[in-house]
A = this chain, B = another copy of it.
Amino acid sequence: MEILSRLLDGDRRAVARLMSMAENDSPGAKKALAELYPHTGNAHIIGITGPPGSGKSTLVDKLALFYRTKGKTVGIIAVDPTSPFTGGALLGDRIRMNEVALDKEVFIRSMGTRGHLGGLALKTGDLVKILDAFGKDIILVETVGAGQSEVEVVKTAHTTVIVEVPGMGDDIQAIKAGILEIGDIFVINKSDMEGADETSRELDAMLDMNPENSGWRPPIIQTIANSNIGVDEVVEAMDQHMEHLKSTGNYHKRIKARTRVELMEIIRDNIHSYLIESGQDEKFDSLVDMIVNGELDPYTAAEEFVKPIKE
């Protein structure tokens, strides 16, 4: 496909176009992604999540800049509706200018979260793969940490960074608990605010109780992203995490886990599209009629419909 060869040749517009195709499920998108797939697998994919107001976007901005000084190319995917990167997605604003937005070697893409329910992780994964094939060394995926969908998104990352701010209080503990297992690195941003050390200690205690860390103890790093303080430490931790993955065989395990999630997502999406098509279908329609007429219940009907795949 022409768009693919243009993308592999470094054409940024081809990247943007293929991303739009993937996001909109345009005809040809799946085929292009399938052909692009063999060119992926080289980027370090980093998921960055945390509550609104934790300064994730600033951190992402500074991380990208720091990677650039090290000569790495960077891609950013922001799926956070509260992020300045995605301002456009929710409110119709134009994307606000960030420092990295001026750097040609940094490719920034924002994704709206609306209308993607369930498929958000899949779409994010598609965009990640496009940037990966495009040759970006580092891909930062920024999501707002507020629920299941973010957890799904970070499952597609090699390294997951959880951003907190000092003293978030009791009602955040519940969210922390849910997100604790998925964090490879914890950042306490805005650490000049009161309570940074206490939040670090609390987090540390929670990590102590967390049994599953497969030889990697998630570091807790205090940053003031605004003033560029601690950003280098975060990058170092991310590099170390990748080294850890590779040296322990956990890399392969994580790739396999990611692939599993991804394959499930694509299958689900595939079936979803098929269902929407078959909504117009006679077979589906006759099942609906039988249910409406009281001849069949929908649970039995669904069982009938799915049977072929199970055989």
User: Is A13 close to B, CB under 8 A?
Assistant: no
Stretch binding the partner chain, chosen from A45-53, A197-205, A300-308: A300-308
Q: Are B306 and A308 in contact (CB under 8 A)?
A: no
Q: Are A270 and B118 in contact (CB under 8 A)?
A: no
Partner of A308 from B116, B298, B309 at Cβ < 8 Å: B309
Q: Are A288 and B260 in contact (CB under 8 A)?
A: yes
**Chain B residue with Cβ nearest A32:** B299
Q: Are B267 and A302 in contact (CB under 8 A)?
A: yes
A residues in contact (CB < 8 Å) with B = 30-31, 33-35, 37-38, 41, 90-92, 113-118, 147-149, 152, 171, 174, 178, 252, 255-256, 259-260, 262-264, 266-272, 274-276, 279, 284, 287-289, 291-292, 294, 297-303, 305-306, 308-311
Which chain B residues border A305 with CB–CB below 8 Å?
263, 267, 270, 309
Known: A34-B299, A310-B274. A117 touches B263 (CB 8 A): no
Q: Are B309 and A306 in contact (CB under 8 A)?
A: yes
Known: A37-B299, A147-B114. A263 touches B284 (CB 8 A): yes
Partner of A302 from B266, B289, B300 at Cβ < 8 Å: B266
Q: Are A271 and B33 in contact (CB under 8 A)?
A: no
Q: Are B268 and A275 in contact (CB under 8 A)?
A: yes
Known: A263-B288, A270-B306, A306-B271. A115 touches B174 (CB 8 A): no
Q: Which 5 A-B pairs have the closest CB atoms?
A: A37-B297, A118-B118, A34-B299, A266-B302, A117-B148
Which chain B residues border A263 with CB–CB below 8 Å?
284, 287-288, 291, 298, 301-302, 305
Can you list 26 residue pairs at the A/B interface with Cβ under 8 Å? Answer: A37-B298, A90-B174, A113-B147, A114-B147, A114-B148, A116-B148, A117-B117, A117-B147, A117-B149, A259-B292, A260-B279, A260-B284, A262-B298, A263-B287, A263-B298, A263-B301, A264-B276, A267-B271, A267-B302, A267-B306, A268-B268, A268-B271, A268-B272, A269-B302, A270-B302, A305-B309
Question: Other than the known A255-B292, A260-B288, A266-B301, what 15 A-B pairs have Cβ atoms closer than 8 Å?
Answer: A34-B299, A116-B148, A117-B118, A117-B147, A260-B284, A263-B284, A263-B288, A263-B291, A264-B279, A267-B271, A267-B302, A268-B272, A271-B271, A306-B309, A308-B309
Which chain B residues border A289 with CB–CB below 8 Å?
256
Which chain B residues border A33 with CB–CB below 8 Å?
297, 299
Which chain B residues border A31 with CB–CB below 8 Å?
299
Known: A117-B117, A302-B270. A288 touches B256 (CB 8 A): yes
**Chain B residue with Cβ nearest A289:** B256
Which chain B residues border A269 with CB–CB below 8 Å?
302
Known: A118-B117, A174-B91. A311 touches B310 (CB 8 A): no
Q: Are A298 and B266 in contact (CB under 8 A)?
A: yes
Please give the distance in Å from A155's CB to the nearest CB on chain B. 13
